[in-house]
Structure 1
Amino acid sequence: MLPGSAAAAAGVEVAMALGVDPSDAEQAAALGSGAFAGGGKGREVLGQAQKQAEQTTSTILLTLAKLFQDATASPIAGPHGALTLGGIPASISLLLPLYYLSISMHNSASTCNNLGILLSSIPVVTTVVNAMGQPQQLNGQALAMQYYTQGLQLDPKHPHIYTNLGSLLKDLGHLNEAIKMYGKAVESKPDFDVALANLGNAIKDQGRTQDSVVWYRRAVMVNRRFPEALCGLVNALLAVCDWSEVYVGEDGKGGGGWMVDVSDLVLRQLRDGCQYGAGAFHTAGPIEAWVAAIIEAMGDTRQAAAQIWTQRLQPFYQPGFDRVASQVCEGGYLIQLVERMMRRSQRRWYVDAYGKGMIRAEMELPRVSVASTHGVYARPKLPSCLVTPAVPTVLPFHTFTYPLSPRQIRLICHRNALRISQSTLTQMWVPDVVYPPPSPPAPKINIGYVSSDFNNHPLAHLMQSVFGFHDRSRFNIFLYATTPSDESPYRRKIESEAQHFIDVSAWSNQQVVERIVMDNIHVLMNLNGYTKGARNEIFAARPCPVQMEFMGFAGSMASRWTDWVVADPIVCPPEMTGVDRWRWERVQRATDCMADLDPEEESEEWVYSDRFIYMPHTYFVNDHKQGFRETLPAKTIEVATLASNGEGAEEGSVGLREDEQLWASEELKRYAMRRELFPGLPDDYVIFADFNQLYKCDPMLFRLWLRILRRVPKSILWLLRFPAAGEHHLLREAREYAGDQVASRDRGSVSGYDRVQCAHDGGGYTLVGDAFVDVAEAYA
């Protein structure tokens, strides 16, 4: 050991800490054997020093792993570029060894927590041999559960572990247990904003929207800029029509309320998201390699193809290219480019196997073989430097009811599509080649429908008969149900009438995709869109050459895994589409691809980046003709007879034509139900009805309805208690805006009925309404 070195100085400090004179050779020699007489603490102190060293090393490894874990979750590289370990990019393969080394040296609750977070995100399922020598399936969520449990044994009051364990339980469908864990997190740390917001989310998922408000409000009071808490509070307040905090200031004297904060949040998140994947093209390879891969995948035989693609990609290789100022999202463009290459490769495979003009065969042709292609139709890979992109906290479904601009709506949908694409295409189960195309129709076209709503759900109410109506001489119909049966009559009807009904609720995305490929599906229909329960990852894997969206989501998918959206010109006007803008203005950016305009562009003149198949009148399917043929209950007929003494129904139906008799029967039916529902309501009163969920209503629309009531004195407004907590807020708003005469009772003439009347369930009684007043968007 060199005198004056750092090691020598450290040795002196250790010796002095042990009570040893460094200049005494005998004391120093005795130290090694623990025989030093100065208290006899040599071994003990050395043991403590070793323990401290292990803890320090463990903390260093934990901190390093956390830095890399944060880097994998961040779509934007730091000021010094992407974080690497000696050139090794941040990834799960790097993180796990760091965490395992850390926990092997010092078992801490924090390390268990971080390992649980990481493991819960790993979708891989493997088989191991347990202590009994039996094979056992193990996945990331099961391992995460073990580490969370171990962490709580080390620290029974660790709020982060309780919160993350709650989220894991919620993902596994154990909502009540999740709420208990969130509650314990809040008990341990009452100002923990994440736990407060998660508790609000879980309570809202139980259907207790009004109860969730208090937890969201507490989270926002702790951290006003916490996106999940802010949006959760606004969504909950809107769901129960409590508009006082959302659209006005906290003092009730005007201003923007919480919605102003949400608007600022959206602007900030969309601006930051534009930097996603900056430098990804350059990091992944030279421009020449990209151009060659694009031309090969797309089969681009144009003479100037190399020059065209070089010009398009050149800006990404220029130093100082300002992506934010140019409103170019490099990562988003790269993902869309890879998806386009996938689709073109699948198309080339079909043409090479069956011929360019082959659209129908007289007999079934053999399926293409993946093994025989020798990787010719390779799936283009996303660069490993492209992490999972962040998405705005405001979800696509909320864009229907939030005051957002066309570009904001477009980008919110687009960013969600990018996240689904990236997270799907980087899964280990995705094969190295694109999925093989189906053989030509022979002669029937195979159509697949994917939905989580083949149960007691509005979509099933509307479409329950559609699947049995298909012409089976021209089509084979496959239904893939991603949720288990609720044993409702809707599910039973759909199952019994569908040609092929497959319950895939317990299947992984990989299994569903492979089944769709095996079923030789030509057209795959997405009946969810961006709604609860959707499994859009199935579509992002591109198992089918033609993929469409229908009914579930009347908005923009803004994805390259949706080829067509079935709609009509009313709900999705052609002039609000990117295709129409391109057709008339012929505007082009480097990141546009013919009529597929880049959603990132600054224009506020269009919303939809999708391509539409327009139905001539309406895209909106309903099952009214089949679903409302029920016979009139005896009790209802009795009520009508006693109440009206024959009034209100057509008299003397003898001699009437068949259609007139049917009309008279319907009038009797309607009048009977009206008497049963509103026994004290005079016959000359008009019933204005709306059976939407209350979150779709806003103050401006509700006040319009109140003005209608004011103009039509003999009328009531009939709404659903959906949720029931909304009734109180609506009646309060009605009294404040229109007064008691309109909001409460029409002094003696209504005999106890509120002018704004709420009901539990419309059901078949929707026939009772005289006029339906619909909402502006996301209508019933």
Structure 2
Amino acid sequence: GGGGGGALRGEMSQNPNLNAKQMAEYYYLQAIRYNNQYAPAWIGLAELWREQQQYARAISCYKTILKFQPASAETYSGLGLCYTELKQFAEAERCYSQVVGMYRQNAVALANLAGVYYEQGRLDLAIQTYKEAIKVDPNFPEVYNNLSNALREAGFLDDAISCYTTCIRIQCGLPPTASIYRGALPSLFNSPAAVQRLCVVYNNLGGVLKIQGRVQEAMACFQQVRILTPDSPEAHANLASAYKDCGKHDYAIVEYRHALNLRGDLPDAFANYVHSMQCICDWTDRESLFLRLEECVQYSLAMGTLPPVQPFHAMAYPFSEDLALKISKAYANHCEIVSRGFNLGELRHPERRPLARDQGERLRLAYVSSDFGNHPLSHLMASVFGMHDRSRFEVFCFALSPDDRSEWRRRISQEVEHFVDVSSWSAADIARRISAEGIHIAVNLNGYTKGAKNEIFALKPAPIQCSYMGFPATTGADFLQYLITDKVVAPPELHHC
């Protein structure tokens, strides 16, 4: 009782130089010394060490608590957070599952478990569990944002946009029908942290809208971020990227310069700035800009991160053939990493045997492209898809982009035997469909161009996969065994690159 407290105060008086956290640690340890089963002290000490990123010590505390309080949800939650920070996701999953088992109606526990599934790349489970958390607490903005991220990575872009929008409305206190581009002003928020959380969601939403080609809406998102955080380099860089996508390079250059003045080490912004300069034929400092850009690329490759220069741009830059190939390989590797997150396993291929022609069996051929419409690829190839000998080939066209109502789209869709609009499908679902159709040869007509979904091919839905036409170079991808070309376009002596 009182004697114990007096003893602690007496000992602390001999340590006048301890800061608040050291004092807290001291008191927790002393409390445990007096009663080694005093759970509040163990919990306090564990959380203190977790906040200080001393995860091994925190884990030891949490495990000690479980010896005398084996059904402590608070302890399992703290333990799960430690394992998550250490990226020991299997252990984290076990801990969060214990909490969910105790309290199925706990939105935080469900969200934590969903977060582990997301980190493991188990997107289906992550989406399902985030949705359970929202059923428990329909006004949990962080869960909406995280669910949106999972939906985005799974390829459900429309659903992701809807969730991001709901998240913003909740954070801003807006009614369900209110525009998210008006009213979300800094005056609504009492803390920089709240503003920062809102900016994260606007940036995420803008990114998905850009992917869908809804550039004006993306620009509105990024403009909102710039209003909320005018000194944020990322705000200017994202807005610049939206301007660039709709061909407003002069505006883009101004915003990129703002971003780079605020923070010089933004490799993606710098790479896009250089590209915009080339697009308006501004050759100012061109040589020094490309030297610096090459340094950025080499650094990214050395660090194992995605290079800031896209493969399609690298072909037009004064880069060596070897560097251009390394950039393409890095992007191919990124596609494989993303595809592994779908957890599809090995997709079924047609049986490897000669076709029974006398029984009407044909070679099943799939063309996959986002350019079945008013696009140069269709201008060049519109007649090809319907010209195959139907007695020998069964041809499918999988359209990654929606119908643009052009004559080119109409012609291709009418002349080919099977035309499938998969523009709203995820990469995983498209790969499943290609596999289910028993495709023998799948042809990637995009490569690294706008609208591509190379993750489809990284999932290997067909036994033979090749690239053709859309991307005029090698993709550097092991999952595309062939490049259709000729010795004029690709002389044998250059096959190494």
TM superposition score category, shorter chain reference: 0.5 to 0.7
**How big is each residue's C-alpha offset from its partner over 1:127-166, in whole Å with a ceiling of 9 and x where there is no partner?**
xxxxxxxxxx995554444334333447374444433343
Any residues of structure 2 matched to 1:362-441 within 5 Å, and which? 390-428=305-343, 430-431=344-345, 433-438=346-351, 440-441=354-355
Q: Distance in 2 between matches of 1:118 and 1:8?
A: 50
Q: Give, in angstroms, the shift of residue 544 of structure 1.
A: 0.6
2:356 alignment partner in structure 1: 442
Matched, 1:198 2:111: no
**How big is each residue's C-alpha offset from its partner over 1:616-641, in whole Å with a ceiling of 9 and x where there is no partner?**
xxxxxxxxxxxxxxxxxxxxxxxxxx
CA change 1:569–1:182 in 2 (3 A) is: same
Matched, 1:151 2:171: yes
Contact 2:154 2:426 in 1 (8 A): no
**How big is each residue's C-alpha offset from its partner over 1:528-576, in whole Å with a ceiling of 9 and x where there is no partner?**
1111111111111111100111101111211121010011223333223
AA aligned opposite 1:576: L
Q: Distance in 2 between matches of 1:395 and 1:93?
A: 41
1:237 alignment partner in structure 2: 277
CA change 1:118–1:270 in 2 (3 A) is: farther
Matched, 1:84 2:86: yes
User: Number of aligned pairs?
Assistant: 375
CA change 1:185–1:452 in 2 (3 A) is: same
Q: Give, in angstroms, the shift of residue 117 of structure 1.
A: 5.4
Q: Give, in angstroms, the shift of residue 462 of structure 1.
A: 0.5
Q: Distance in 2 between matches of 1:394 and 1:441?
A: 44
Instruction: Calculate the TM-score normalised by the size of structure 1.
Output: 0.43
**2:149 aligned to which of 117, 120, 125:** 120
**How big is each residue's C-alpha offset from its partner over 1:479-504, in whole Å with a ceiling of 9 and x where there is no partner?**
11111111111111112211221111
Contact 1:197 1:232 in 2 (8 A): no
Specify the SS of the correspondent of 1:203. helix
AA aligned opposite 1:391: L
Contact 1:116 1:145 in 2 (8 A): no
Q: Distance in 2 between matches of 1:138 and 1:217?
A: 32
Matched, 1:510 2:428: yes
CA change 1:498–1:230 in 2 (3 A) is: same
Q: Give, in angstroms, the shift of residue 210 of structure 1.
A: 2.7
**2:207 aligned to which of 160, 167, 170:** 167
CA change 1:559–1:97 in 2 (3 A) is: farther
Matched, 1:181 2:181: no
AA aligned opposite 1:218: H
Q: Distance in 2 between matches of 1:452 and 1:93?
A: 43
Q: Distance in 1 between matches of 2:170 and 2:309?
A: 35
Specify the SS of the correspondent of 1:229. helix
**How big is each residue's C-alpha offset from its partner over 1:164-223, in whole Å with a ceiling of 9 and x where there is no partner?**
343244345543222122112112222211111111111122232232221112112222
Any residues of structure 2 matched to 1:540-579 within 5 Å, and which? 540-578=458-496
Contact 1:546 1:563 in 2 (8 A): yes
CA RMSD of superposed structures (Å): 4.0
Any residues of structure 2 matched to 1:737-776 within 5 Å, and which? none
Instruction: Flag structure 2 segments of 5+ consecutive residues without an equivalent.
Output: 14-43, 56-83, 98-106, 116-132, 134-139, 174-187
CA change 1:86–1:488 in 2 (3 A) is: closer
**How big is each residue's C-alpha offset from its partner over 1:573-605, in whole Å with a ceiling of 9 and x where there is no partner?**
322334xxxxxxxxxxxxxxxxxxxxxxxxxxx
CA change 1:165–1:454 in 2 (3 A) is: closer
Q: Distance in 1 between matches of 2:147 and 2:51?
A: 18
Q: Give, in angstroms, the shift of residue 61 of structure 1.
A: 11
AA aligned opposite 2:237: A
**How big is each residue's C-alpha offset from its partner over 1:66-101, in whole Å with a ceiling of 9 and x where there is no partner?**
xxxxxxxxxxxxxxxx96267757899979957957
CA change 1:538–1:457 in 2 (3 A) is: same
Q: Give, in angstroms, the shift of residue 505 of structure 1.
A: 1.3
**2:378 aligned to which of 450, 455, 460:** 460
CA change 1:564–1:125 in 2 (3 A) is: closer
Any residues of structure 2 matched to 1:129-140 within 5 Å, and which? none
1:266 alignment partner in structure 2: 297
Q: Distance in 2 between matches of 1:271 and 1:423?
A: 20
Any residues of structure 2 matched to 1:573-592 within 5 Å, and which? 573-578=491-496
CA change 1:100–1:505 in 2 (3 A) is: closer
Instruction: Flag structure 1 segments of 5+ consecutive residues without an equivalent.
Output: 11-52, 65-81, 105-110, 127-136, 248-255, 274-389, 579-606, 608-780
Contact 1:120 1:168 in 2 (8 A): no
CA change 1:434–1:163 in 2 (3 A) is: closer
AA aligned opposite 1:170: K
Q: Distance in 1 between matches of 2:221 and 2:110?
A: 24
CA change 1:509–1:411 in 2 (3 A) is: same
**1:538 aligned to which of 435, 452, 456:** 456
Contact 2:111 2:143 in 1 (8 A): no
Specify the SS of the correspondent of 1:197. helix
Contact 1:119 1:141 in 2 (8 A): yes
Q: Give, in angstroms, the shift of residue 459 of structure 1.
A: 0.4
Instruction: Calculate the TM-score normalised by the size of structure 2.
Output: 0.66
Specify the SS of the correspondent of 2:385. helix
Q: Distance in 2 between matches of 1:441 and 1:167?
A: 46
CA change 1:568–1:85 in 2 (3 A) is: closer
Q: Give, in angstroms, the shift of residue 473 of structure 1.
A: 2.2
Q: Distance in 2 between matches of 1:410 and 1:125?
A: 28
CA change 1:162–1:510 in 2 (3 A) is: closer
Q: Distance in 1 between matches of 2:52 and 2:169?
A: 22
More helix by share: 2
Specify the SS of the correspondent of 1:450. strand
CA change 1:86–1:412 in 2 (3 A) is: closer
Specify the SS of the correspondent of 1:467. coil
Q: Give, in angstroms, the shift of residue 449 of structure 1.
A: 0.5
CA change 1:8–1:502 in 2 (3 A) is: farther
Between the two proteins, what is the percent identity of the paired residues?
Answer: 31
Contact 1:113 1:151 in 2 (8 A): no
2:178 alignment partner in structure 1: none
AA aligned opposite 1:437: P
Matched, 1:218 2:258: yes
Q: Distance in 1 between matches of 2:426 and 2:87?
A: 34
1:481 alignment partner in structure 2: 399
Q: Give, in angstroms, the shift of residue 234 of structure 1.
A: 0.7
1:376 alignment partner in structure 2: none
Larger of the two Rg values belongs to structure = 1
Specify the SS of the correspondent of 1:257. helix
CA change 1:125–1:466 in 2 (3 A) is: closer
Q: Distance in 1 between matches of 2:384 and 2:235?
A: 44
Q: Give, in angstroms, the shift of residue 415 of structure 1.
A: 1.0
Specify the SS of the correspondent of 2:484. strand
Contact 2:243 2:249 in 1 (8 A): yes
Q: Distance in 2 between matches of 1:264 and 1:191?
A: 27
Specify the SS of the correspondent of 2:420. strand
CA change 1:550–1:171 in 2 (3 A) is: closer
